[in-house]
């Protein structure tokens, strides 16, 4: 089987995961968990990257990081090899600790950051190890909700991207417990990119530069690119009000504005700041509205059907 592509680029968000060999445990004690986190801190100092979220499960881990240089492979090799050496000596083991190479996905943080951090932080709950995510010691969740400081994550960077307060984030995560959620990685393109069409095109261009003129084949075509202008026209047709009208509306247009925000994030790939410029909102207001519409869709099949109907108009 061919190996999945790995884009090595600066200023990229990556979801990274690695499992124990034969799915065996990779942490045998609390000290092991702490030691792994220490190796992450050492790697941060050496390779200069940001850690946004993490969860360490008994036989695997999830990290959400942002590189500042094109050095993801060096980062992950340093962390996994250093910890493997420690673990084998500590527990009198030999051989591989992790199952093959780590897996990484380049992530469009503007569209998927809150969803992915929620997915990461709910891992122990889904595994039925705890009832609430704050009961688990080996994740960044407590740092997010300000239950306790977390020196491993770059909280100032998290706050810039997340755009909502601790109480709102906790509500966003807790509301999902017990619900069957769609896999956030269902839409991964080519096995290594999670984002809209314009984001995918940008990362594929970067990958082509990385590997030279080597032909990069894909099993499916890029999703159709949707511009902000396309969404503005759609809102006018379906709701009788485009961005200009939605900027002024304060009552009837609230739901419509949130739908527009959802479409602009998912289909056009605009950042919160760019959306705010179109709709006369600040960064935090856009981020909160995006979470509101996701919650509303999760709780209302009618609204979910309405939004999916709008999305379908751009397919084909």
Per-residue pLDDT of the chain (316 residues; tens, 9 = 90+): 345 567 888 999 999 999 999 889 999 999 999 999 999 999 999 999 999 999 999 999 999 999 999 999 999 999 999 999 999 999 999 889 999 889 999 999 988 999 999 999 999 999 999 999 999 999 999 999 988 889 999 999 999 999 889 999 999 999 878 777 767 887 788 788 888 777 888 888 887 777 664 444 443 444 556 788 889 999 999 999 899 888 876 645 688 999 999 998 888 777 788 888 889 888 888 988 988 998 898 889 999 999 989 988 876 5
**Number of Cα atoms under 13 Å in the Cβ half of residue 154:** 17
Mind listing the domains of the chain with CATH numbers?
A: 13-198 (3.30.70.1290), 224-312 (1.10.1750.10)
* 268 vs 233: CA distance, rounded Å: 13
Nearest to 59 by CA among 26, 98, 21: 26
Long-range contacts at 162-169 (CB < 8 A, ≥ 24 apart):
162/113, 162/114, 162/117, 162/287, 163/272, 163/283, 163/284, 163/286, 163/287, 163/288, 164/114, 164/284, 164/287, 164/288, 164/291, 168/288, 168/291, 169/114, 169/144, 169/145
């Amino acid at each position: 089987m061919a190996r999945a592509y790995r884009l090595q680029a600066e200023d990229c968000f990556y979801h990274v995961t690695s499992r124990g060999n034969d799915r065996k445990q990779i942490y045998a004690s609390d000290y092991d968990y702490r030691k792994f986190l220490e190796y992450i801190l050492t790697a941060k100092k050496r390779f200069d990257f940001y850690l946004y979220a993490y969860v360490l499960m008994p036989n695997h881990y999830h990290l959400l990081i942002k590189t500042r240089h094109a050095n993801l492979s060096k980062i992950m090799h340093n962390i996994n090899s250093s910890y493997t050496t420690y673990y084998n000596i500590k527990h009198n083991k030999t051989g591989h600790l992790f199952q093959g190479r780590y897996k990484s996905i380049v992530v469009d943080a503007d569209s998927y950051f809150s969803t992915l951090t929620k997915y990461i932080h709910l891992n122990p709950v889904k595994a039925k190890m705890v009832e609430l995510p704050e009961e688990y010691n080996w994740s960044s969740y407590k740092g997010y909700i300000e239950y306790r400081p977390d020196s491993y994550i770059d909280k100032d960077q998290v706050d810039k991207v997340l755009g909502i307060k601790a109480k709102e984030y906790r509500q966003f995560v807790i509301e999902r417990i017990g619900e069957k959620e769609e896999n956030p990685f269902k839409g991964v393109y080519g096995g290594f990119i999670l984002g809209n069409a314009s984001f995918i095109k940008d990362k594929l261009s970067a990958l082509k530069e990385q590997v030279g003129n080597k032909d990069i084949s894909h099993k499916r075509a890029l999703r159709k690119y949707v511009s902000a202008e396309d969404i503005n026209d759609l809102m006018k047709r379906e709701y009788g009000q485009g961005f200009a009208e939605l900027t002024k509306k304060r009552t009837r247009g609230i739901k419509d504005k949130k739908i527009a925000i959802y479409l602009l994030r998912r289909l056009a790939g605009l950042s919160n700041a760019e959306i705010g410029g179109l709709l006369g909102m600040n960064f935090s207001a856009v981020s909160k509205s995006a979470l509101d519409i996701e919650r509303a869709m999760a709780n209302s099949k009618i609204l979910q059907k309405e939004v999916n109907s709008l999305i379908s108009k751009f397919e084909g």
